[in-house]
Each structure stands twice: as structure tokens, then as C-alpha cells.
Amino acid sequence: MGAHRDFLAIPDFSAAELRSLFALADRMRRGEYHARPLQGKALAMLFMKSSTRTRVSFEVGAWQLGAHPLFLTPRDVQLGRGEAVNDTARVLDRMVDGIMIRTFAHADVEEFARYAQVPVINGLTDLQHPCQILADVLTMHQHLGGYEGKTVAWIGDGNNMANSWCDAAMQLGFTLRLACPEGYDPDPSILARAQATGRVSLLRDPQEAAQGADVVTTDVWASMGQEEEQAARARAFARFQVDGALMKRANRAAIFLHCLPAHRGEEVSAEVLDGPQSRVWDEAENRLHVQKAVMAVLMGGEPLG
């Protein structure tokens, strides 16, 4: 319905568009962008799950671009009492100029996008976390000078982050080695599509994945909504901690990334998260810059390229 553009997953932007988006985000990061293309507009932010970074970066980012952000949770909106997703989408559509959603089922975000004419931005689903991966690639730009020819090692769960890394590797052409325990692979169709490029591989051994990598990255063992699986997952992921020994397998100049929140002593040791190769605070800051670029383009008419 409608000719608007949404951002639900990385492939919603072409490789060329992603390059321009990173250039725009980089200008924002350097403090070289002062326009307010969202002046007089409103952004609805629907959070069906908790958030620190996504909430603050979208709220502050929208405000910096001139928009009024609305923070909405199931306690505040009728969606939490069973109002249909498509009814909510059609109502918000009449009042705001963009909608950011964080929820469980990816299909709910797709349904929102079908029913709302205004741009819909995915702030995390069980399947995808595309805004975070944009921030991670921007951090590669910042600290490694780009992503071309680089190798990223993903250690741990084949979750929403892993799926969005697969999409990014497919679209941008870097090498991605995923090390996941059996039974915790990425989404089969997203993985297969990425593997067809010949640059994405699924391994079982974290050491092998990290060998010579430029980026070593991981995420929690139990994502939001999987809290009751924590004990079983802790057993399955015991060999999948990013520690000093694993970082030694990577390039000497390799960086460590983590979307946060992190659990020191589980998926990452404190020495790595707080160590000299960690770029996690820049990575978190880059959420602000890259999402401002996305909002400026989708909601503010900022041209790409």
C-alpha cells in the first residue's frame, strides 16, 4: 500500500544506498550535519520489549532532526490490551510521520508496514536487528577504514543479530564466519541466501571462525523472550565465550563489538569487553548517528547518493 519506504531489514537498501547512508551517518558522527529535515513531524516509537540504546538513540535522534518522538509501550497503548496490529497501524498512520517498532514476531512489523503509509523502521524483532548492524558497520568504517575485504567472526547464537549480519555480508560483500553450537543456527533461508555469495560460512568451532578476523563479535546467549531457556543455553554455549585467548586468534588490530547489554563472564569475558580492542561504546553511540541518517532519508526526504 503506498509508495513509502520502510526499513525492516538490511536488503531494503541496495549496496549503493547503504554506502551513501554510511557517508551521511559519518557526517552526522563528525558533527558536520546541521539540517533539521524532520521539523514539525512526529515519530511514534512502539516498544513491546525493553530497551536502553534503541529508545534513547531514536528519541534523541528524532529530536535533533526536529521531530517530536512519542515513547509508547504496551502499558500505554491499546495494543497491549489486544487491539489489532493493523488497526493500530492505520490509526498511527493518520497522526505521525514515521513509526519505529520493537517487538517479538517479525510478521507484526511487516503487517504494520503493510497497513501504514508512513515509513516503518524495525527497532528489533526476534528475526532481525538491522539498525544495530548498520551501527556495527559504521563502527567498522570508523576503526578499520571500511568493510571491503574485511572478515567478521560471529561467535554464539544464530539470533536476530546473526541474521542481520548475514544480510549485511550478502549486501556489502565482506566475509562472515559464524560459529554457532548445533541447534542454534541462524534462520535457514537468510543463511542460505547469504551463503550463496560464497563469503558466508557456518562453523562449529569459535577458534576457527576467529582465525585472522578483523572483527570478533557476539551477543547474549538468551535473547529477550528466551529467559526460561537460560540454563539450557548456558550449557550449550559454554565453549562460545569471547575471551583473551580467542581474541589472540584474530588479527592484531582486530576490534571487538557487542550490541549490548552484555553479560561479563558469559558470552564475553570482562577483560575483552573492557579491554583495548573493545569498541562497544563507539558502537552504541553509532546507533544515534546511523538511525538519524535512516530517519532523515525515509522521513525527511534527504537524498541518498
140 close to 147: Cβ distance less than 8 angstroms? yes
- The grid coordinates of residue 200 equal 558466508
Q: Measured from the CB atom, is 135 or 299 closer to ligand NVA?
A: 135
Q: Is 260 in the site for ligand CP (CB under 6 A)?
A: yes
The binder of ligand CP chosen from 54, 159, 195, 286 (CB under 6 A) = 54
Residue 52: contacted member of ligand NVA, ligand CP, none (CB under 5 to 8 Å, by partner type): ligand CP
- The grid coordinates of residue 260 equal 549490548
Amino acid at 157: D
| Residue numbers annotated as active site | 102, 129, 132, 219, 259, 287
Q: Is 278 in the site for ligand CP (CB under 6 A)?
A: no
Q: Is 164 in the site for ligand NVA (CB under 6 A)?
A: no
Amino acid at 292: K
Residue 223: contacted member of ligand CP, ligand NVA, none (CB under 5 to 8 Å, by partner type): ligand NVA
Question: What are residue 117's phi and psi, to 5 degrees?
Answer: -80, -25
Q: Measured from the CB atom, is 190 or 280 closer to ligand CP?
A: 280
| Strand (E) or helix (H) holding 72 | strand 68-72
Q: Is 286 in the site for ligand NVA (CB under 6 A)?
A: no
- Quick note: the x/- pattern for ligand NVA over 122-161, rule CB under 6 A, is --x----x-----------------------------xxx
Minimum CB–partner distance for residue 64 and ligand NVA (Å): 22
What three-state secondary structure class fits 218? Answer: strand
The binder of ligand CP chosen from 53, 177, 279, 289 (CB under 6 A) = 53
Q: Measured from the CB atom, is 85 or 124 closer to ligand CP?
A: 124
Alpha-carbon gap, residue 93 to 6, rounded angstroms: 13
Among the residue ranges 14-22, 47-55, 183-191, 198-206, the one whose residues contact ligand CP (CB under 6 A): 47-55
Alpha-carbon gap, residue 151 to 92, rounded angstroms: 41
Angle at 78 between CA 75 and CA 84, to 5 degrees: 130
In 3D, which of 173, 177, 166 has the Cα closest to residue 250? 177
Q: Measured from the CB atom, is 224 or 304 closer to ligand NVA?
A: 224
Among the residue ranges 6-14, 48-56, 205-213, 265-273, the one whose residues contact ligand CP (CB under 6 A): 48-56
Among the residue ranges 45-53, 82-90, 145-153, 225-233, the one whose residues contact ligand CP (CB under 6 A): 45-53
Q: Is 236 in the site for ligand NVA (CB under 6 A)?
A: no
Minimum CB–partner distance for residue 236 and ligand NVA (Å): 15
The binder of ligand NVA chosen from 38, 200, 220, 268 (CB under 6 A) = 220
In 3D, which of 130, 138, 122 has the Cα closest to residue 215? 138
CA–chain centroid gap for 217, Å, is 13
Residue 125: contacted member of ligand NVA, ligand CP, none (CB under 5 to 8 Å, by partner type): none
Alpha-carbon gap, residue 24 to 53, rounded angstroms: 20
Alpha-carbon gap, residue 256 to 152, rounded angstroms: 10
Q: Measured from the CB atom, is 267 or 302 closer to ligand NVA?
A: 267
Angle at 119 between CA 165 and CA 192, to 5 degrees: 25
> Which residues, other chains included, contact 220 with Cβ-Cβ below 8 Å and sequence gap of 6+?
157, 261, 262, 263, 266, 267
- The grid coordinates of residue 191 equal 543463511
Given the rule CB under 6 A, which residues bind ligand CP? 51-54, 124, 132, 259-260
Q: Which residues bind ligand NVA (CB under 6 A)?
A: 124, 129, 159-161, 219-220, 223-224, 259
